[in-house]
Amino acid sequence: MNGGLIDPITLSVLSGGLRAICDEMGAVLIGAAHSPNIKERRDCSTALFEPGGELVMQAEHIPVHLGSMPEAVGAVLEADPEPGPGDLWILNDPFRGGTHLPDITLVSPLFADCAASAQGTLIGWAASRAHHADVGGPTPGGMPASSRRLEEEGVVISPQLIDDDGIVALAERMRDPTQRLADLRAQRAANLLGTRRVAELVERHGSELLSAGMSAVLDYAERRSRAAIAALEDGTYAAEDALEAADGSPVPLRVEVTVSGDSMRVDFAGSSPQVEGNLNCPLAVTRAATLFAIRVLIDPDAPPCAGGHRPVVIDAEHGSVLDARPGAAVAAGNVETSSRVADLVLAALADIADGPAQGQGTMNNLTLSGGEGDAAFTYYETLGGGQGACADAPGPSGVHVAMSNTLNTPIEALEAELPLRIRRLELRRGSGGEGAWSGGDGIVREIEALVAMRFTLITERRAIGPRGRAGGAGGEPGRNLLNGRPLAAKVEGELKPGDVLRIETPGGGAHGRREPAG
């Protein structure tokens, strides 16, 4: 160090070490989990935080998880400002550090002296978040299409200390407790790995240098973010869009983004009040989607940490659909409203930051459940679609867009785990908008039930497709069908043996007008 500053090489080494820890935590979690949703789709995230709860480093996992996870660490700090070695905290309450109930977070404190007999000095936190295929409650999967209150969506876990006996007891409150227990223990293993690897960094570099390195990573990301914002044209830029309520009515959203020097204010005034359904979300989810959109537009290669968030102020009216009051239903808010918030911010900044056309704008959430006793099952997945085209490239096809960074579940995994047959999994040719650069195509998945089961769909972009940019055509809206009969965007129902559920996901918008041949 020189004059209290870390030289660039040391900073790079420490930053790479922290990033490697997050990646290895994720590998442990994915490798140890049992549910297809985590081990195949990789619907999980891992990150490290400094003592005050600022995100220092993350694996490139799920944007809606990672952008909102600082609130989880903050909730733990509020509950216990003096944690001890070996503590393990758990939570999923959306209004106390969570997102929606299936996303369960485990948080572990990190100490300079990690010996169980020594208090040591708190130098940070390790956290993992995973979407569990069930979280108890009246609706399998914790993703009802028509919930109105949070308690209708599953078990609410306020921030609390937990041990292995507590993990077992919690899993017993959920469907398929053996699988739930395995997934929770996989998260605990990821946190333990993070604790061990950070201790090794302390042994190698010393706690003082590591703490200074964390601060330096945050400050460096802030400098890069401010420089990128300063390069944008000052002004106020607005965009409007809408969600599709369970009854088909529009839920309007609006944003104004004000760029002033090296800072930015994002104001969602004018967006809908919170709704009776579950499209509401806590402010943490709105923040996560907003910060994701800003990062990918202005400086996607900056360190993925909270330093890059410092120049951005986010406002949403409390009691609106983007900052719902505690107790509101939020199952769809985390997955669908977050996607639309990202669309909204990307659209507002598209002209000054050379943004893409709109992608599919939905996660196409599907939950299946059925059976009894040892044959009982609960399954959850999201489906990819078309990404929007850029000014110099077409949009990719069949991928998860924006706030979801998961994979499509392989046919082999689905058919091995569940009593169903995948009749079709293919690109939805021609669903991407046409233009100078075409939007990506959505996908088609047809599922044949082999036994009686229940299904739930929470989807968006079924009424109006994603928009194109600069004269490019929009993408095709998605469709849900049961035995060829159209279904609503948000619907629950029963499948009899032989029934076929078909999901057609939206295509992405095109960029630029296609010039006539000749």
Whether 398 and 442 have beta carbons less than 8 Å apart is answered as: yes
Final residue of a domain: which of 173, 205, 222?
222
Strands 122-131 and 250-260: unpaired
Judge whether 415 lies within some domain.
yes
In a domain, 432, yes or no: yes
Q: How far apart are the C-alpha atoms of 474 and 476, rounded to whole Å?
A: 7
Q: Is 334 part of a structural domain of the chain?
A: no
Residue 55, φ and ψ in degrees, nearest 5? -65, 120
pLDDT at 265: 98
pLDDT digits (tens, 9 = 90+) for 186-223: 999 999 999 999 999 999 999 999 999 999 999 999 99
| Structural domain contains residue 232 | no
Q: What is the pLDDT of residue 48?
A: 97
Q: Is residue 68 part of a domain?
A: yes
Query: In this predicted structure, what is the pLDDT of residue 116?
Result: 42
Residue ending a domain, among 176, 201, 222, is 222
Quick: pLDDT tens for 62-116.
878 777 889 999 999 999 888 999 999 999 999 999 999 999 999 999 998 654 4
What is the model's pLDDT at position 409?
Answer: 92
Residue 198 in domain: yes
The terminus-to-terminus CA distance of the chain in angstroms comes to: 64
Asked whether the beta carbons of 342 and 403 are under 8 A apart, the reply is yes
Half-sphere exposure of 17 (CA within 13 A, CB side): 20
Q: 189, 222, 255: which is the final residue of a domain? A: 222
- 23 with 165, same domain: the answer is yes
Element (H, E) at 315: strand 312-315
Number of domains in the chain: 2
Q: Find the domain containing 449 and state its range.
A: 356-518
Select from 451, 278, 462 the least CA-distant residue to 375. 451
Asked whether residue 296 is assigned to any structural domain, the reply reads no
Question: Which of the 8 DSSP states describes residue 187?
Answer: H
How far is residue 443 from each of residues 12, 449, 509, measured CA to CA in Å? 40, 19, 15
Ranges in the chain, pLDDT < 50? 1-3, 115-117
SS (H, E, C) 246-273: CCCCEEEEEEEEEEECCEEEEECCCCCE
At residue 518, the pLDDT reads 56
Helices 164-172, 177-205: axis angle to 10 degrees equals: 150
Q: Which helix (H) or strand (E) holds 454?
A: strand 453-458
328-356 as b/e, with b when 16 or more CB fall inside 10 Å?
bbbbbbbbbbbbbbbbbbbbbbbebbebb
- Kindly state whether residue 237 falls inside one of the protein's structural domains: no
Question: Cα–chain-centroid distance for residue 42?
Answer: 11
